[in-house]
Chain A
């Protein structure tokens, strides 16, 4: 089986930033992503307790390397200052590279 290397962008952020992230992805013509609700602890304290709006989500997006730079740049520029957010990139192998 041949695996093609693409990038996995993982963003853990407060749930209210999710919409902004999805919008940025859309702007860069990325429509596929996975989100799930998570909780944890970080610079802005224990997250995921209390009000619904204070939860965290994890957004996972697989994309080609060409788009990665721009997406990461825009997320850092627009969201890093004001939201609880952590972002990292890893290499993953996929079978059907044409999907991404």
Chain B
């Protein structure tokens, strides 16, 4: 499979072209703008469509196979977040807040990227496992929660050290700090689980599971046939926002720019390989890789501004939306597709592993 050819044919799909068009529109300072209500509505629509599809698929295939991929995805997401943090803190010399914020932005998942991936696969005539939508929902808060927990631990450790150097017996402030950390964490947990993204996603999965193919036929025109078209409209908006931020990329610096490209590639390829080893289909492995490669830019600011306000938001929004998102959908997606095709058509060793894991389930 020629990767370059895949990339160039991907470049000429409406999704990518409209994204690039949006960037150009922003660069020439056009007043083109997607009305606010629509750009707020589209993510909800996309998540509903993803959820419905996932739910229907899960009804067809059952979800007993879901547990291991889901746990593996959570484990990898946590591991990658820690890994990001070490790289950013040690090599990138970012401060602790920016490091954790960026680490979790890249450990979290991007629902828009996920939608683009689904439509890419549709374009290639490949299907993916429906339960990936459920993994998307579960993975959404995981990286944030860990990063926030670790940040708060680090902060209270600093406070403790300061306290010890000042006076030995007064710990009331520290206790208060720990208490605050706990409430902050439960607040984040509550906010992200009841946040609109997860609620609409989980709700649609359940509804999709209940209605099945039969019930879906009456709403297919909206949630299936219009899916790619809706992404295209949203891509104009994403392109405009990314285009407005192009100047900020200079401020992000070379290190973070490289990080924003290398990390998703690494995470995504690992994801594809691990998913293949777990026995996911060709398309499923691509989507699994994409889950791990994608960075969050819609949920991230809302979560992180509250929980790690010290971190500079323009760093994580610009790198996730301005660099990683275009890179993921234009370049990395075809690369992962090519890799997944190769490993799925190849060696029997992977099948062997599949048999082993199958026995566990």
Contact = CB atoms under 8 A, between A and B. Distances in A.
Interface of A: 14, 16-17, 19-20, 49-54, 81-83
A83 B306 CA distance: 10
Given A53-B298, A53-B301, 20 more contacts: A16-B301, A16-B305, A16-B306, A17-B305, A20-B306, A49-B244, A50-B240, A50-B244, A50-B245, A51-B241, A51-B298, A51-B317, A52-B36, A52-B39, A52-B40, A53-B302, A54-B301, A54-B313, A82-B310, A83-B305
9 contacts: A16-B301, A16-B302, A19-B306, A50-B241, A51-B301, A53-B305, A54-B301, A54-B313, A82-B310
B309 interface: yes
Contacts of A53: 298, 301-302, 305
Among B302, B309, B317, the one with the most A-chain Cβ atoms within 10 Å of its Cβ is B309
Contacts of A17: 305
A22 B40 CA distance: 24
B309 A83 contact: yes
A16 B305 CA distance: 7
A42 to B, nearest CB: 14
Nearest to A16: B305
The interface residues of chain B, by DSSP majority, are classed as helix
The 3 closest A-B pairs by CB, nearest first: A16-B305, A82-B309, A53-B301
Contacts of B309: 82-83
A52 B124 CA distance: 33
A53 B302 CA distance: 6
A52 B299 CA distance: 11
A16 to B, nearest CB: 4
B144 to A, nearest CB: 14
Nearest to B308: A82
A53 B196 CA distance: 14
A50 B33 CA distance: 9
Nearest to B245: A50
Interface in B202-246: 240-241, 244-245
Contacts of B240: 50
Interface in B4-51: 36, 39-40
Contacts of B241: 50-51
Of residues A14, A19, A51, which shows the largest number of chain B Cβ atoms within 10 Å of its Cβ? A51
Nearest to A54: B301
A13 to B, nearest CB: 11
A83 B305 CA distance: 9
Interface in B98-131: none
Nearest to A82: B309
Contacts of A51: 241, 297-298, 301, 317
A18 B211 CA distance: 40
A14 B241 CA distance: 17
Contacts of B306: 16, 19-20
Contacts of A52: 36, 39-40
A19 B317 CA distance: 20
Contacts of A14: 305
Contacts of B297: 51
A10 B129 CA distance: 52
Contacts of B305: 14, 16-17, 53, 83
Nearest to A14: B305
Contacts of A81: 310
A11 to B, nearest CB: 16
Nearest to B297: A51
Nearest to B242: A50
Contacts of B302: 16, 53
